[in-house]
Structure formats: structure tokens, C-alpha cells
Amino acid sequence: MPLCRLVSEEGRHKPIPLPHQQTLTLGRGPETKIKDQKCSRNQVELKADCNRGFISVKQLGSNPTNVDSAVVGKGNQVPLKPGQKLYMVNQLYPYFVEFTEDISLISSEERNKPMKRQHQKDSQEQESPASKLSTSCCTQQTSNGALVLGKATAHKAEPAGHWSQGLKVSMQDPKMQVYSDEKVVVIKDKYPKAQYHWLVLPWVSISSLKALRSEHCELLKHMQKVGDRMIQQCPDAQKLHFRLGYHAIPSMSHIHLHVISQDFDSPALKNKKHWNSFTTDYFIDSQDVIAMLEQDGRVSVKEGTAELLKQPLRCHICCKEQATIPKLKEHLKSHLSSCLKGETV
């Protein structure tokens, strides 16, 4: 049977064995060498399934534990698979899971199987992107830059998993796609927070802003260019103001550019977190992300950014504070009314 270990990416301590189907509780303490008071002594509960090749992660602590960029949530349980990262608390203290064969219990032929599987995987990854494409009907770009309905290419869908992986499923669904080219796909947000709310996603797998490097600059510029074209062809483009940007700490895995109108007229906008995620510095403009990559080769998220979601409700136009979401929405109607009279919002 394969053996499982939890490995600190920072090398803070020796790998922690995770016996098959046995629960282990970890957090702040001598075993992890974590002294951060925001990390509970019982932050996570881990349980390895060595036969199926993953571990279950259950968040016990109050502060967020992440798998890649997705927050697990207190009391929730999600799988951690090889290649993914577990952040013990507040996107800090990264770990990865490692499965190794018990050499003493397998033959030399069996030892070679993982190498063969890896070779087959490497060969598949070296296939041209075109070999992984299937045809679907959605919007395409013509030679003059217009977006028109026609045949487009879509990558084969991955199996559905945890809710945080939902974007990877939606971007493969022809019914969700409104535009596609060889680099990106555009889908409508399932729960739009405004009259117009699109997501621009790259076909290449990039988990979050933290995974971006300088070589991704051209891709992000293309994503912004596609977002700009979506706005240009919007029937209310002359009346509504739009922003293009990224959530600093997104709840959904796979990087995505929000293209969102600033009317915020939507029944899906229900709470303070929704509002502040788009109207505070939690929402980072696309151009600022590109500038950081060009200058530093990486994107930096300021410490304490998560706390921005707890700020009071303030109108993004006049900054007037509102007590509740219903009162805020009623207040926004006055701005929207001005917009319909010809004033830009």
C-alpha cells in the first residue's frame, strides 16, 4: 500500500506521516513549529486514503484554511490531492501531500509502474493544445476584432469536484461560453453581482494570483483586451461604467478576470462580503496586476486584505455609508436613475 506524508513546502519540519484511514489533528504547536496565534492548536483534521491517493482536509479553526486558493470553511471537508497546496491558515504555511510506495513490499516490476505512468503523463502533457480541443458553438473573434457567433474550440471538461473547482467545469460548458479563442474563454458569472458580469478565464491552468509570473504578462494583457471588447459591444456601454479586475483572495480556483458593470443592480448581491469584494482594494484592477508582474515578476497581496470584506457598507459613488444591503440597493437606485437620464455611472 502507498505511504502518505504531509510535507512542509518551507521545510519547517520533517514530513508528517499520515497513516491510512486514521485521523490526525494539526495546528499551532511543536509538530508543525507554527507559533502564529491566528492558527488554532486544532486547526485542521486530516485523514489519508492511501489507496485512492488523496487526503481529506477538515477545517476546525475559526480562521481560514485553504486548499490552493479556495477557502475550506469551518466545519467543511475537502480533498487535497498531489499537486495541490494546503495553506494551514490565512494562506500561510504551505504544505503538499506526498504518496510513496513501500519499497519493501513490492516487486521490481511494480516499482517501475509509477515511472511508466509518469512517462505516459509527460507524453500527454507534451501534446499540442489542438489535440485537446473539441468543437462547440460560441462567440469567435473575426479579423476586424469583432465578436461574432460561430464555431469555437473548447477543452475537454475535467471531472467535477469540490465547489471551488466550479469555474473549471463552467468554462468547458458550451452553454456557458459567450466567447472563446485559442487563449481564453469568456463566460457569464453564474451569480452576477451587476447587470453585466462576465469572467475571462485562460485555458492554461493557473490557480491564483500568487501563481502568476512575468511570463504571464502577455496572457493577462490578452485577457484584458478581450474584456475591453466585451464592454465595447455591450448595449449599455455608453451609460454604464465598467471595471476589469481580480479578487485579491478569490474563493474559486483558476484565475479569472471579472468584467463587471458598476450599477451593482442584481439580486445575487446579497451581503457585505459580496459588496466589499468589488468596491474596496480587495478588487485589484487588471492594469495594476499587469504592472506588478512587469515590475516585480509576481503579484503581491497586502497583509490584512481579507479584513477589507468586513468594512462598513459604503456607496462606491458618493461614499455614503449604509446600514444594510437593502438600504444600500435603494440608495443605488438614485445613481442608476441619473445614469438612465444620460449621466455616466
**Full DSSP string of 111-171:** HHHHHHHHHHHHHHHTS-GGGGEEEEEEEEE-TTS-EEEEEEEEEPPPPP-SGGGHHHHHT
User: Residue 157: CB partners within 8 Å, gap ≥ 6?
Assistant: 169, 172, 173
Radius of gyration of the chain (CA): 23
Tell me how many degrees the CA angle 299-305-311 measures, rounded to the nearest 5. 150
For 36, 72, 156, 222, 229, the CA distances from 181, given in Å and listed in that order, are 45, 33, 15, 11, 13
Asked whether the beta carbons of 284 and 308 are under 8 A apart, the reply is no
Q: Is 206 helix (H, G, I), strand (E, B) or coil?
A: coil
Active site residue 155: no
From the list 216, 256, 316, 335, the catalytic residue is: 256
How far apart are alpha carbons 227 and 243 in whole angstroms?
A: 9
Give 71-89 as a DSSP string: E--BT-EEEE-TT--EEEE
- Contacting residues for 226 by C-beta, under 8 A, at least 6 apart: 179, 181, 184, 186, 200
With b for 16 or more beta-carbon neighbours within 10 A and e for fewer, the 295-316 pattern comes to: eeeebebeeebbebbeeebbbb
Whole-angstrom Cα distance, residue 73 to residue 268?
A: 21
* Separation of alpha carbons 151 and 146, rounded Å: 14
Q: How many CB atoms lie within 10 A of CB 174?
A: 13
What is the Cα–Cα distance from 146 to 134, expressed in whole angstroms?
23
Residues with active-site annotation: 256
